[in-house]
Structure 1
Amino acid sequence: MMSQEQNDLITRIGPDAPAGKLMRKYWQPAALVDELEGDRPIVPVRLLGENFVLFRDEQGRYGLVDRDCPHRGADLAFGRLENGGLRCSFHGWLFDVEGNCLETPAEPENSNLCKNIKQRAYPVVEKSGILWAYLGGDEPPAFPELDCFVAPGTHTFAFKGLINCNWLQALEVGIDPAHASFLHRFFEDEDTSESYGKQFRAASADSDLPMTKILREYDRPIINVERTEYGLRLIALRQIDDERTHVRVTNQLFPHGFVIPMSAEMTITQWHVPVDDENCYWYAIFTSYNEPVDKKKMREQRLQLYELPLYTSRRNKTNDYGFDPHEQSTSTYTGMGLDINVHDQWAVESMGAIQDRTREHLGTSDKAIVQYRRLLRQEIEKAVNGGKPLLFLDEANARSIQGPATMDGIGPTRGWEIYWMEVDVKRRRSAPWAAPVPEEIALKLPHM
């Protein structure tokens, strides 16, 4: 258990909160590129407890500025894009992507007021279908050489979804290998050839065993957790028999992301981005190592659940997440349908807006969560004291973080330690794009 003070320390992300200072050391997903592709490329953004407006000007440049106009506080999300910037609809004050005031049209022609006005603005970059913002105020870090950033646009797809709870409990479900055997349990196995774009539905690598069968029948994984230079590596082992063991390798990407296998040919890199203390978005980049991603199919699949423009789930608290007691007794463990995003959403939202960790009792299967919280507290302290936290990279060190490796396969019970690395390297070597082999793995497998 932890105290309320300890819980507040690792969950609250406002500008003056210790964890908020940490989060502002990193680029944060602010919106999907798709959200600004319409006729009016202006969207309100609430991020880390603050309100902004994200827009694309007539030259194609992206800008993120405070949402309230510095004149009289009117809402710039209802502004107009014209004359090289965003114009407030109240009195016509005009701001460019850097926050410079270009015009104050109601003032006298010889007025110098405009020169003294500056709207707070923040750097924005586009990467792999996501617009990233940096709220730190100082020089932003470099992006690590993750697969999702290295792969060409044809081989990535980005999406997001809103969750009505604190970011930390949403993240922690992703670093909990044990829950999948229960929360995502299906009583029947589907045709794995129809699994494209679906989590936990494909066959495990090097076998014809569906993941649904493995999770259902082997529900006591042995979990190994290792510290890495990007966060944590998790290895979950489910022994099938004396000769075969199911190996699943996932990663916690500091501060609020994870990288997991979706299938033998695709990974998911996902961040749980605080909207405020009680809401978050998951942003995911799906990366393919062989064929280009079928973006149309992936988008259509997800829009069956998520509703625009806010990417809210159609299954939520108001309709009991679609809970069906008959389905629960005959088809799925939760009775909440086949989309595991709904299962995860119910689990984390049911804990409350901010989970009360003073009442929880952790077990040995929660070892990744224990280690992550310890790491989080350590890096919060570092950020508060002016240090550079984990994965705050400069350009010279950006390439030191590659991959990271993930896999999901049936390997040898004796020798799984090398097996998972061989599977990952083989996939990278055969990719049509230059998928880097992480140095630590290359050193252990010089023959590959």
Structure 2
Amino acid sequence: MMSQEQNDLITRIGPKAPAGKLMRMYWQPAALVDELAEGRPIKAVKLLGENFVLFKDETGRYGLLDRDCPHRGADLAFGRLENGGLRCAFHGWLFDATGQCLETPAEPVNSSLCKNIKQRSYPVVEKGGILWAYLGEGEPPAFPEIDCFAAPDEYTFAFKGLIECNWLQALEVGIDPAHASFLHRFFEDEDTSAAYGKQFRGASADSEMPMTKVLREYDRPIINVEHTEYGLRLIALREIDEQRTHVRVTNQLFPHAFVIPMSTEMTITQWHVPVDDVNCYWYAIFTSYAAPVDKAKMRAQRLELYELPEYRSRKNKSNDYGFDPHEQATETYTGMGADINVHDQWAVESMGAIQDRTREHLGQSDKAIIQYRRLLRQEIEKVASGGKPLLFLDAASARSIQGPATMDGIGPTKGWETYWMEVDVKRRRGAPWAAPVPAELAKKVPHLTAAE
């Protein structure tokens, strides 16, 4: 049983909180590139409990500054882009992307006041359709060379969604393989050829069996959890019969992401980014190993559910997530429609703004959650002692973090251990872009990687 103090330790992310100090040692998704690509390229951003203004200046350079103007505290998110920076609408003070004050126009002509004024600024980089910010001290870490960053732009698509609860319970859904057999259960199977862009609606690799049937009929997975150089690997096994077993391989990418298979040809890398202690965004990059991503279709599918500009779900607490008792009796386990994001959002928001883990009772199927919390506490303590946490990478070590491997397929009951690796490596070898084969897999299935 967890104490309240332990629960606070792993959930609170303010600047002075231990978990907040850990989070500030990583690049954080601050916005989608799309959010500044159209209309007014200035956006108020709340991230890790702090308020910022994100903007793109006239030269295309991104800047992230504290949101309150250092003159009198007015809101810079209502500023104007001009003369090489962001100008406060109150008195016209002008700041560049580094936070340096360039002009204080109401001051005397010979005033040197602006030379000594610098607003706190933060590094911003564009990667995978997301604008990433580093809020920590010192030099930021390097990005790992994982698939969603290695793939060309036309093979990726980025999106986000708001969840009104603490980041940790949102993340923990993604490392819980058992829940999918219940929360995401569909009573009827659909034509899997129409599954593009939808989770848990296609067929598993090497099989015509729809994922909906696998999850519905085999609801007691054996779950294996392995520690890796990037976090955790989860392997969920659902035995179909003596010859065949469904294998699903997913990953927890420390500190707050997971990497999961979406279909035989696409994966999802998803971060659960704290807005503050009681709200978070999921940011996802969908990566294709086959054809270029149909970005317009993927975006249109998601905009059926998510409303701009906040990317808030149209199905939410205010309308009971679209709950329909007739649908629950005849079509879906939840009665909340076919989009599994709604199911997940209901589950985690129903726990409360911050889940009270002093009242929970975990079982064997929660082993990944137990190990992740242990890992999180360990890395929080490491940072508190002045150390560098897991996946705080330099340029050399970043190149060694590749993949990670994911798969969803039906293979041999005896021999599944290498089967999933072979499926993942074959997909990489057949990709039209240079999808790297992680070194661990190259060693274990050398017959598929000998040409490298």
TM-score, normalised to structure 2, is: 0.99
SS in 2 for 1:193: helix
2:110 alignment counterpart: 110
Q: Tell me, in whole angstroms, the C-alpha distance in 2 between the residues paired with 1:353 and 1:184.
A: 22
2:175 alignment counterpart: 175
Q: Tell me, in whole angstroms, the C-alpha distance in 1 between the residues paired with 2:279 and 2:137.
A: 24
Partner deviation per Cα, 1:370-422 (whole Å, 9 max, x = no partner):
00000000000011111110000000111110000000000000000000000
User: Match of 1:318, as an amino acid?
Assistant: S
Matched, 1:400 2:376: no
1:25 alignment counterpart: 25
SS in 2 for 1:447: helix
User: Match of 1:36, as an amino acid?
Assistant: L
User: Match of 2:360, as an amino acid?
Assistant: E
| Equivalence map 1:340-359=2 (5 Å) | 340-359=340-359
User: Match of 1:22, as an amino acid?
Assistant: L
Q: Tell me, in whole angstroms, the C-alpha distance in 2 between the residues paired with 1:166 and 1:222.
A: 28
User: Match of 1:58, as an amino acid?
Assistant: E
1:198 alignment counterpart: 198
Q: CA RMSD in A?
A: 0.4
1:411 alignment counterpart: 411
SS in 1 for 2:309: coil
Give how far 1:39 is off.
2.5
SS in 1 for 2:179: helix
The percent of aligned pairs where both chains have the same amino acid is 85
Q: Tell me, in whole angstroms, the C-alpha distance in 2 between the residues paired with 1:49 and 1:359.
A: 26
Q: Tell me, in whole angstroms, the C-alpha distance in 2 between the residues paired with 1:39 and 1:154.
A: 23
Give how far 1:111 is off.
1.0
Give how far 1:137 is off.
2.2
SS in 2 for 1:171: helix
Deviant stretches of 4+, over 6 Å? none
SS in 2 for 1:298: helix
TM-score, normalised to structure 1, is: 1.00
Partner deviation per Cα, 1:200-229 (whole Å, 9 max, x = no partner):
000000000000000000000000000000
User: Match of 1:359, as an amino acid?
Assistant: R
Give how far 1:242 is off.
0.3
2:7 alignment counterpart: 7
1:158 alignment counterpart: 158
2:46 alignment counterpart: 46
Q: Tell me, in whole angstroms, the C-alpha distance in 1 between the residues paired with 2:128 and 2:253.
A: 17
Q: Tell me, in whole angstroms, the C-alpha distance in 2 between the residues paired with 1:391 and 1:434.
A: 23
Q: Tell me, in whole angstroms, the C-alpha distance in 2 between the residues paired with 1:124 and 1:292.
A: 27
Matched, 1:58 2:53: no
Partner deviation per Cα, 1:6-36 (whole Å, 9 max, x = no partner):
0000000000000000000000000000000
Matched, 1:378 2:385: no
2:77 alignment counterpart: 77
Q: Tell me, in whole angstroms, the C-alpha distance in 1 between the residues paired with 2:144 and 2:289.
A: 18
User: Match of 2:157, as an amino acid?
Assistant: F
Q: Tell me, in whole angstroms, the C-alpha distance in 2 between the residues paired with 1:24 and 1:67.
A: 18
Give how far 1:447 is off.
0.9
SS in 1 for 2:68: coil
Give how far 1:110 is off.
1.2
2:446 alignment counterpart: 446
SS in 2 for 1:46: strand
Q: Tell me, in whole angstroms, the C-alpha distance in 2 between the residues paired with 1:297 and 1:365.
A: 36
User: Match of 1:289, as an amino acid?
Assistant: Y
User: Match of 2:173, as an amino acid?
Assistant: V
Partner deviation per Cα, 1:285-313 (whole Å, 9 max, x = no partner):
00000100000000000000000000000
2:229 alignment counterpart: 229
Give how far 1:258 is off.
0.1
Matched, 1:297 2:297: yes
Partner deviation per Cα, 1:120-177 (whole Å, 9 max, x = no partner):
0000000010000000021000000000000000000000000000000000000000
Q: Tell me, in whole angstroms, the C-alpha distance in 2 between the residues paired with 1:154 and 1:444.
A: 31
1:101 alignment counterpart: 101
Can you give the 5+ residue segments of structure 1 that lack an aligned partner in the other structure?
none
Deviates more, 1:33-42 or 1:195-204: 33-42
Give how far 1:277 is off.
0.2
User: Match of 1:264, as an amino acid?
Assistant: T
User: Match of 1:57, as an amino acid?
Assistant: D
Q: Tell me, in whole angstroms, the C-alpha distance in 2 between the residues paired with 1:324 and 1:67.
A: 42
Give how far 1:112 is off.
1.4
Give how far 1:339 is off.
0.2
1:274 alignment counterpart: 274
Give how far 1:109 is off.
1.0
Can you give the 5+ residue segments of structure 2 that lack an aligned partner in the other structure?
none
Q: Tell me, in whole angstroms, the C-alpha distance in 2 between the residues paired with 1:427 and 1:38.
A: 35
